[in-house]
């Protein structure tokens, strides 16, 4: 893909800014604005309005759900305000809650879109695999007492890799219409002490796709399905054939990939 240079709309002196942030989703009802609940988008827009006087139309890279976290979340925003990027980082952080932090701001081409310009995303799901809970991980990892065979699950997860119809691994609602084919480039399960990490990279994700994939692998871990059953579940294109949906608390949007 050809790399584009940063350009301005000279007539209006418009800049397109790529804003990267991190957040703990425990106290938020997801990213997207809601009428009766606090969301990350709401507090971000309020912070922008305090600095710029109003909030331009912003584009988020994803639509994380209630309780889901982000190690990397990207926003694009066009503005004619002259504030330097480095000053905007500090200004935003002074107005955002402590559970949200802007990491960087930089100028990008005017046709860049935080969602539609993505090449792919990586999600990580964290599981505390221990008989005793850790209060410092409450709301930030799934506490799971049954022993996890990480090597077996990592081997089973490789069946997700490739281009597949993931109808069996998504929650169907009005947000999911059209093509359910996604290309998964990597899936791994690894243990570090009592923590088990499920990591998946793809060109796109369906609603609850990662949580259902993880829930299915944990179902396999419990003997509810065979380790080699994932290809058959994929072919069925039937949500009822897959395992349960893992809770939101362990899910992190870990990285967003762009060609800029």
Active site residues: 65
Tell me the β-bridge partners of 23.
70, 100
Q: How far is CA 20 from the centre of its chain?
A: 13
Whether residue 192 contacts residue 141, with contact meaning beta carbons closer than 8 Å, is answered with no
74/60 Cα distance (integer angstroms): 6
Which among 94, 103, 45 has a CA at the least distance from the CA of 70?
103
> Phi/psi of residue 95, each to 5°?
-110, -10
Count CA within 13 A, CB hemisphere, residue 130. 15
52 three-class SS: helix
């Amino acid at each position: 893909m050809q790399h584009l240079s940063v350009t301005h709309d000279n007539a209006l002196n418009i800049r397109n800014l790529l804003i990267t942030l991190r957040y703990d989703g425990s106290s938020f009802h997801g990213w997207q604005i809601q009428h009766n609940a606090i969301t990350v988008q709401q507090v971000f827009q309020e912070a922008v309005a305090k600095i710029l006087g109003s909030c331009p139309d912003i584009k988020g890279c994803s639509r994380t759900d209630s309780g889901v976290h982000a190690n990397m979340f990207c926003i694009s925003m066009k503005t004619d305000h002259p504030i330097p990027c480095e000053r905007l980082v500090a200004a935003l952080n002074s107005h955002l809650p402590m559970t949200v932090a802007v990491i960087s701001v930089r100028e990008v081409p005017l046709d860049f879109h935080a969602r539609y310009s993505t090449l792919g995303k990586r999600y990580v799901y964290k599981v505390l695999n221990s008989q005793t809970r850790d209060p410092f991980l409450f709301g930030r990892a799934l506490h799971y007492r049954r022993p996890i065979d990480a090597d077996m699950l990592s081997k089973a997860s490789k069946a997700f890799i490739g281009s597949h119809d993931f109808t069996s691994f998504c929650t169907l609602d009005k947000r999911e219409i059209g093509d359910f084919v996604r290309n998964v480039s990597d899936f791994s399960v690894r243990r570090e002490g009592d923590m088990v990490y499920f990591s998946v990279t793809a060109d796109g994700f369906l609603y609850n796709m990662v949580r259902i994939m993880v829930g299915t692998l944990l179902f396999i871990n419990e003997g509810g399905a065979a380790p080699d059953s994932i290809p058959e579940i994929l072919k069925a294109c039937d949500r009822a054939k897959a395992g349960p949906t893992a809770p939101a608390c362990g899910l992190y949007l870990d990285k967003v990939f762009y060609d800029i």
